[in-house]
Chains A and B, each alone.
Chain A
Amino acid sequence: MNGVSLEETRVAQAKAGRMEAWAELYQAHYAAIFRHVRYLGGSSAPVEDLVQEVFARALVALPGFDGRASFSTWLHGVAVNVVRNHWRARQSTETAHQRYQDINAVHRASASNEVDRAHMHKRRAEAVYAVLEQLPAHLREAFVLRDLEGFAPADAAAQLGISPGNLSVRASRARERIRQELEKLGWLSPREEVQA
């Protein structure tokens, strides 16, 4: 409990304009936010740049932080919004479908050549993100927070500003769509009992 109250003190000091306190919060949460942004944004996202944007936005928005959620949950929520904007901008400047096709092409090439394991693992991770990119943002975020990052339903829901029940429904729908797409692309074997 001490850790929590210490953090609350730091947050209050930072809200009062004390930069030492803000610097401590920044250092304490940097790694977690880096991880969060990396998961949400995928390997092709400019993670460092987005993390910097998260903390800049949080610094500006800090006076409005009311303490209803923990500082960490709030900060993760800011990160969700920053990455969401990034996806939006990216989709308007590049063709997501083209990247999806590229990954599929690489997969076929990889399957015919012997590539080293590490490279293959990377390709598989890229394939998952290529599929994720095809999903609507609300499904993608629910899936990343629950299935990749492993947040508890209540925490993930608080970050997205939705109910835990709603989150579970979104994550489950996302999982099903991802599975279907990965099957279509040949990254997963087709299920036998799909029809029913």
Chain B
Amino acid sequence: MSADLELSALLDDVVRSVDEDIAADPGCPDLAAVIARAHELDPQRVPAEAVHEVAQWAPVVSIQQGHRRRRTRDDVELLAARFVAARSATEGGPALELTDEARMALREHRWPGNVRELRNVIQRAISLAHGSRILEADLALHDQGDLMAVEELLTLPYREAHSQLDRYYLRRVMAETRGNITHAAERLGTSRRSLRERLKKLGLVPQDLGPTPKLEARMAELRRRLAPDLPWIRG
């Protein structure tokens, strides 16, 4: 091998190792930690709106100041309770509380976005809630990675149905390869670049790829019904 090719192969290994790290990265962490850090650097230059938000998130931000970067389920519950309390206090109505089912749903839900997303869900739930209790239904959480029922899928135009199935299928492969795009691409017989582009197009991000048991069951049903006609879901 010529020296140039050898060097190029070594650099390819660097690119591969970076790709793997990026594929394993769970994505954008909460902005609150960034704001808190900026505030430490120069409090005068951080917008007041940002400072207000950090103050609201203070207990969680202080935990995230270390190297821990993902929210735990306890954090989600704690934050949700704070948002509910803050909203109840500002609106002056009856004190609201989350039911056990609602709290459980919040804990179980995957939160690909930042804290803002959780707050939006809570605000919407408060406006939907009747009485003093926020029910699971008020949260209107739905698993965006869910696969629709087979009959419903069959009513869609081919391209849309394909995307739905593709989304589910790739989520599953990515979950099984622990978000490693290189391994997933090898398994699918495609290039990393194509797979990455497809994942991007489908709006799939590494932290949002795990199928639930319910989805597994639906996929099994779908396989039984459609596998002979859909080559892309053959193992």
Contact = CB atoms under 8 A, between A and B. Distances in A.
Q: Do A and B come from one complex?
A: yes
Interface of A: 17-19, 22-23, 26-27, 30-31, 34-35, 38-39, 43, 46-49, 52-53, 55-57, 59-61, 63, 121-122, 124-125, 127-129, 147-148, 175, 178-179, 182-183, 187-189, 191
B10 A127 contact: yes
Interface residues on B, range: 35 or more
Given A23-B114, A48-B29, 7 more contacts: A17-B47, A19-B49, A34-B25, A47-B21, A48-B25, A122-B13, A188-B6
A52 B34 contact: yes
Interface stretch (B36-44, B94-102, B125-133, B157-165): B36-44
A48 to B, nearest CB: 5
Contact of B3 (A48, A127, A128, A188): A188
Interface in B9-46: 10-11, 13-18, 21-22, 25, 27-29, 31, 33-35, 37-38, 40-42, 45-46
Contacts, number: 116
Nearest to B45: A60
B27 A30 contact: yes
Contact of A59 (B16, B21, B38, B53): B38
Most A CB atoms within 10 A — which of B28, B48, B49, B50?
B28
Nearest to A36: B18
Contacts of A129: 14
10 contacts: A19-B53, A22-B50, A23-B116, A31-B27, A39-B18, A56-B40, A63-B45, A122-B13, A124-B13, A148-B11
Given A30-B27, A52-B33, A38 B13 contact: no
A46 B17 contact: no
Interface string B34-70: 1101101110011111100100000000000001010
In the A-B complex, the 10 residue pairs with the smallest Cβ-Cβ separation, listed nearest first, are A17-B47, A56-B37, A125-B17, A56-B38, A59-B38, A124-B13, A30-B28, A55-B34, A125-B14, A121-B13
